[in-house]
Structure 1
Amino acid sequence: MINAFMQTRVSSSRLPSKVLKNLHGLPMFVQQAKRIQQCKKIDKLIVITSTEKSDDILEVICKENNLLCFRGDLNNVLSRYYYAQLAYPCEHVVRVTADCPVIDSALIDHVINAHLINSNDYTSNCLKSTFPDGLDTEVISKHALLDAYKYAKKPSELEHVTPFIRNNPQKYQLQNIQSETDLSNHRWTVDEPEDFALISAIYDHLYTQNHYFNYQDILHLLSLKPELSSINAQFSRNEGMLKSLKQDKEEGYE
């Protein structure tokens, strides 16, 4: 059994309520959920949000769109994953964040395949970033998730779920899936207004023809309209993680 957990909240610090933004007639996180549901290797998709009142609306929207929803701790996202896995038991968890509305189902399946074939504890396409930001996919074995829940202490480990596993390669079998060409300069995640402007433009050009366009379709579009990539070119990758690592140091962790 393989379940995908899509972590979602309304109270984003950089772009509040971004997951609720209208993206071609649906809330952005619902569009992303529908893309993940195209995966052939995933048994269930569960939207995992917090118990905060601000996230009540997410549970309502999930019910309206026949999406499973689990609620847990706002800041200790790792614990949210752990308890979601208890509520929806599975041998492997696919971790995705709800700010990636062009995530690619075929790429997710590719990462899952590698994870299963090689009996990995952790497999992702972002241990070393070679794919566009916004296609990040992580697959975690149940026992590795349990270990992380038991032993992770740093704020970055609790917020970003997988650093404890990734930072212990001597204990866990890790694998990174790389793109044949380095595409890491592309930013297709949504953290800033400019990010959403780019995603909206991509949907405007591709969605009508194929609701589930893939990342190669986006690359082709950007080759024809390179000016689109400049919309959000000023932002750097992994700003949230850098903020968490700073918090680690402030709390005395190396």
Structure 2
Amino acid sequence: MILAVLQARMGSERLPGRPSMPLARAPLVVRQIERMARARRVDRIVVSTTTDPADDALEAVIRREAIAVHRGPPQDELARLAGALEAHPADHVVRIGDDSPLVDPDLIDATIDLHLSERADHTTNRSPGAAFPAGQGVEVITADGLRRLAADSAALRLRAGDARETPPPVRWSSLALLAQPDQGEVRWAVEGPADYAFVAAVYDVLYPANRAFTSADVRRLLEQRPDLASFGGVRRL
């Protein structure tokens, strides 16, 4: 059983309300769920968000899409991820952030395939020097590994008295799906207003013709549109 957890919240510091921002006449988070749902190796999708009242509206949007929602501590992303696993038991967890409405279903599957074939504890496709674009990031971790990581983090918080965002698992075997050439400087992630405008422009062109447009379709568009390829002064291709 493979559980994909989309970690989303309305309170992004750089782009508040990001999950609800419109893409092709639907909230960004809905468009991202559409893409994640096309991954063949994923058995179930859960959206993990916070107990902050600001995320009540996000929960309502997600439930209208018949997608499960798990809510947890606002300042502890790892606890929310582990809580989603406990609420929806699985053998492996796929973690994807809510800044990725161009996430590639085939890339999700490829990362899972590597993780399973090599029996790794943790697998990523964002390894420095051979990374896929920001906004295409996928992490896969075994359920046992996630539980151990959450327990270790909780123990550290008790000793240090501070909250921690998700650290990489460092005590288990970790693999990377490598991009050749390195695309780590390419940004398709929606981190700020210019990124949102870029992704909205991509959706406006590609989505009406093909709701299941691929990363290859995005790259072909960018090759034809130099204005988009460097939109906002950022490398997009």
Within 1, Cα distance between the matches of 2:164 and 2:146? Answer: 12
Matches within 5 A, 1:8-87: 8-87=8-87
Secondary structure at the counterpart of residue 69 of structure 2: strand
Deviation at 1:234, TM superposition (A): 4.8
Spell out, residue by residue over 1:77-122, the C-alpha distance to the aligned partner (whole angstroms, 9 max, x if none): 1011111111000010000001100000010000000000100000
Deviation at 1:233, TM superposition (A): 2.9
Name the residue aligned to 2:127. 127
Residue 114 of structure 2 corresponds to residue 114 of structure 1: yes
TM-score by length of structure 1 reads 0.86
- Unaligned 5+ residue runs, structure 1? 236-254
The one-letter code of the counterpart of 1:55 is D
Within 2, Cα distance between the matches of 1:184 and 1:233? Answer: 16
Residue 224 of structure 2 corresponds to residue 224 of structure 1: yes
Within 2, Cα distance between the matches of 1:211 and 1:150? Answer: 40
Name the residue aligned to 1:147. 148
TM-score by length of structure 2 reads 0.92
CA contact (8 A) 1:111 1:125 kept: yes
CA contact (8 A) 1:187 1:232 kept: no
Within 2, Cα distance between the matches of 1:186 and 1:204? Answer: 20
Count of residues paired in the alignment: 229
Name the residue aligned to 1:215. 215
Q: Which stretches of structure 1, 4 residues or more, deviate above 4 A after TM superposition? A: 154-157
Within 2, Cα distance between the matches of 1:103 and 1:157? Answer: 28
Range with greater deviation from structure 2 (216-225 or 30-39): 216-225
Within 2, Cα distance between the matches of 1:29 and 1:38? Answer: 15
Residues 157 and 130 of structure 1: is their aligned pair in 2 closer, same or farther, counting only changes over 3 Å? Answer: farther
Spell out, residue by residue over 1:181-229, the C-alpha distance to the aligned partner (whole angstroms, 9 max, x if none): 2222221111111000100111112111211211111111111112213
Matches within 5 A, 1:198-213: 198-213=198-213
CA contact (8 A) 1:79 1:158 kept: no
Name the residue aligned to 1:158. 164
Within 2, Cα distance between the matches of 1:108 and 1:233? Answer: 28
